[in-house]
Amino acid sequence: MRRLRVIRGWKDLQAGDRGAALAMGSFDGVHRGHQRVIALAAKAAGELAAPLGVITFDPHPRVYFRPNEPAFRLMKPDQQARALEALGVDILYVLPLDPELANMTDREFAARVLHQGLGARHVAVGFDNSFGKDRTGSPETMRAYGQEMGFGVSVAEPVADGEGEKFSSTAVREALREGHPEVAAAILGRPFAIEGAVQRGRQLGRKLGFPTANIPLADYVTPRFGVYATRTRLPDGREIPGVANIGVNPTVDGVTIPLLEVWLFAFDEDIYDQVIETDLVAFLRPEEKFESLDVMTAQVMHDAQAARDLLTPDFD
């Protein structure tokens, strides 16, 4: 597999970093709709013998323009880069969304960033893409600018499920908030996964017989609080089935920040401070407060068996 190069910025690039066929968007989640846009750029890259590039923005436009909204990200940058690399992307252009970029008209963006800065040979966008100050740019204006400035343009049609629902990052977030990780996975083309460094806690789970690896949710969209069947990837590539709670664990006093607390089955190693990635496979039950730790422990053991039953391929 080709290695992805990450280039931050669009100014004063070397000749070898310019001239790609580009897919443009936020690509939070790199879901199946995004993959259609990238496939169009890949087709053009092949025809032009050009590198395949993807443009994203940092921070995400929603963070920049609406900073006070709740956390919503579906991916961390490293997860996004891995997903794009798996699709054969050669170059990821991370454009700094700063006042200069935010105040460019759509024409200025096409001329200064795409044409002069990146030397784009082709630009693929989604059917609902908008760009430039006040989002005045559209696929139609992009086509006009491409014809004027000498780069090709292709527009991806909407991708939908069997019932006609369009695949979107918003739909993924709604599915997760409602406790339907399988719906999110169908849109993404893979399970939604939370990645982070394992933090040290009070080790209460270990004392009760179910040691957990605890990960802050940070900027991720907050899934429905509750218990999930999971699969976790360790830094060495091993994948471990388990069961996890997402929430504030109301039975235990002092927990105020939502956490992913995952119990990795048949696993007893020190992974504090290591970065792990946990897939949410299935929602088992809502989070609840128990009358005692004994009652909570009994329920956790029941949840663990339910997860094992669901993840039976891992226990053959």
The per-residue pLDDT for range 275-308, each reduced to its tens digit, is 999 999 999 999 998 888 899 899 999 999 999 9
**What is residue 209's predicted lDDT score, i.e. its pLDDT?**
72
Candidate from 147-151, 203-207, 307-311 with smallest mean pLDDT:
203-207
Mean pLDDT of 175-180: 98
Q: Has residue 105 got a pLDDT over 80?
A: yes
Counting every residue written for the chain, the total comes to 316
Instruction: Give the pLDDT confidence score for residue 311 in this predicted structure.
Output: 93
Residue ranges, comma separated, of all CATH 3.40.50.620 domains in the chain are: 5-156
* Buried-state track 23-35, b at ≥16 Cβ within 10 A, e below 16: bbbbbbbbbbbbb
CA distance 113 to 116: 6
CATH of the domain spanning 5-156, picked from 3.20.20.220, 3.40.50.620, 3.20.10.10, 4.10.93.10? 3.40.50.620
CB 263 within 8 A of CB 198: no
316 pLDDT more than 50: no
Q: Per-residue DSSP letters for 46-94?
A: HHHT--EEEEEEES-HHHHH-TTSPP-BS--HHHHHHHHHHTT--EEEE
Q: Quick one: which of 269, 260, 276 has its CA closest to 215?
A: 260
Looking at the DSSP bridge assignments, the partners of residue 56 are: 94
Alpha helices in 178-292 (DSSP H): 181-188, 204-208
Kindly compute the dihedral angle of the four CA atoms of residues 103, 104, 105, 108, in this order, to the nearest 10 degrees.
170
Give 192-235 pLDDT, tens digit per residue.
Answer: 999 999 998 766 667 677 899 999 998 999 999 999 999 999 99
pLDDT at 16: 93
Q: What is the dihedral of CA 147, 139, 160, 23, to 10 degrees?
A: 60
pTM of the predicted protein model: 0.91
Separation between Cα atoms, residue 298 and residue 105, nearest integer Å? 60
- Paired with 6 in beta bridges are 92
Query: 139 with 40: CB under 8 angstroms?
Result: no
- Which amino acid, residue 192? F
Q: What is the mean pLDDT of the segment spanning 94-112?
A: 97
Where are the domain boundaries for CATH 2.40.30.30 in the chain?
Answer: 192-315
pLDDT beyond 90 at 86: yes
Count of C-beta atoms within a 10 Å radius of residue 125: 25
CATH number assigned to the domain with residue range 192-315, chosen from the 4 options 3.40.50.720, 2.40.110.10, 2.40.30.30, 1.10.645.10 = 2.40.30.30
